[in-house]
Amino acid sequence: MAEVIDSLVERRKRQILEAAAHIFSKEGFANANTDRIAKRARLGKGTIYRYFGSKRDLFLSVVDRGLNKMRDEILQEVRKRNSVLGKIESAIRTYLAFFEKNSNFIGILLHEQSNFRKKVVQRYFEYYYRNVDKIKEAFKLGMEQGIIKDIDLDDLISVYMGLLNGVIYMWQIEGRRYRLVDMAPIVVRVFFTGIVKDEEQRRRYDK
């Protein structure tokens, strides 16, 4: 019995969240309007307010839902690989693949007003670092095994995350003209081995 009710509630919520994700990512929070979300969800405007207290709540729920899905997908893929570099390679691929599949979601993390920024970022970290921690561990392990250079871990994470998010950002603003996952090999290659070929120069810069 409770399950049936739950199932209706869940269905409605999903219906709304999907419509909202679409509209928010296209228009941003401030520009999105509840009417259009309701229309897209094929529900009355009032119904949205039965399930989400405010536009703000709805927005944060959309963020949560997206981050949740992302975390699950990445962790699942990373678990399949055993080697340190394999895990990192897999994390890069899956991260890019996720944002290609859910490119709507980029807008949600990118736009957005100051008052939300903090809240959104906080959720991003809450969800994200649970798997960044896995990456962090991988980096650490790699260093212990002498496979990865000794670099300050926090710096490394910033560069790693920055590289990934930045590549996604560029893909986005360049108009999604290529397949984002196709960037994975070059990203992996540069991240792992750098761009400089000349050995003398490498040594100069590698300290």
Partner DNA sequence: CATGAATGAGAGTTCATTCAT
Partner DNA sequence: GATGAATGAACTCTCATTCAT
What residue ranges bind DNA (CB under 7 A)?
5, 8-9, 12, 31-35, 38, 42-47, 49-51, 54-56
Q: What is the spatial distance between Cα 77 and Cα 113, in angstroms, rounded to a whole number?
A: 33
Q: What is the spatial distance between Cα 71 and Cα 119, in angstroms, rounded to a whole number?
A: 18
Nearer to DNA by Cβ, of 14 and 130: the residue is 14
162-171 own/partner pairs: CB under 8 Å, 24+ apart: 163/187, 163/191, 164/92, 164/95, 164/96, 167/96, 168/96, 168/99, 168/106, 169/106, 169/110
Partner touching 80 among DNA, its own copies, none, CB below 5 to 8 Å by kind = none
List binders of its own copies among 39-98 (CB under 8 A): 85
Partner touching 54 among DNA, its own copies, none, CB below 5 to 8 Å by kind = DNA
Please, what is the minimum distance in Å from the beta carbon of residue 124 to its own copies? 7
Instruction: Tell me how far CA of residue 191 lies from CA of 61, 70, 126, 149, 188, in angstroms.
Output: 33, 22, 25, 12, 5
What is the contact mask toward its own copies in residues 17 to 36, using x (rule: CB under 8 A)? ---------xxxxxx-----
Please, what is the minimum distance in Å from the beta carbon of residue 84 to its own copies? 9
Please, what is the minimum distance in Å from the beta carbon of residue 25 to DNA? 15
Please, what is the minimum distance in Å from the beta carbon of residue 172 to DNA? 23
List binders of its own copies among 161-200 (CB under 8 A): 161-171, 173-174, 183, 186-198
- Closest by CA to 100, choosing from 184, 6, 196, 191, is 184
Q: Which residues contact 136 (CB under 8 A, 6 or more apart)?
A: 153, 157
Residues forming the site for its own copies (CB under 8 A): 26-31, 85, 107, 110-115, 117, 121, 124, 146-149, 151-152, 155-156, 158-159, 161-171, 173-174, 183, 186-198, 201-202, 205-207
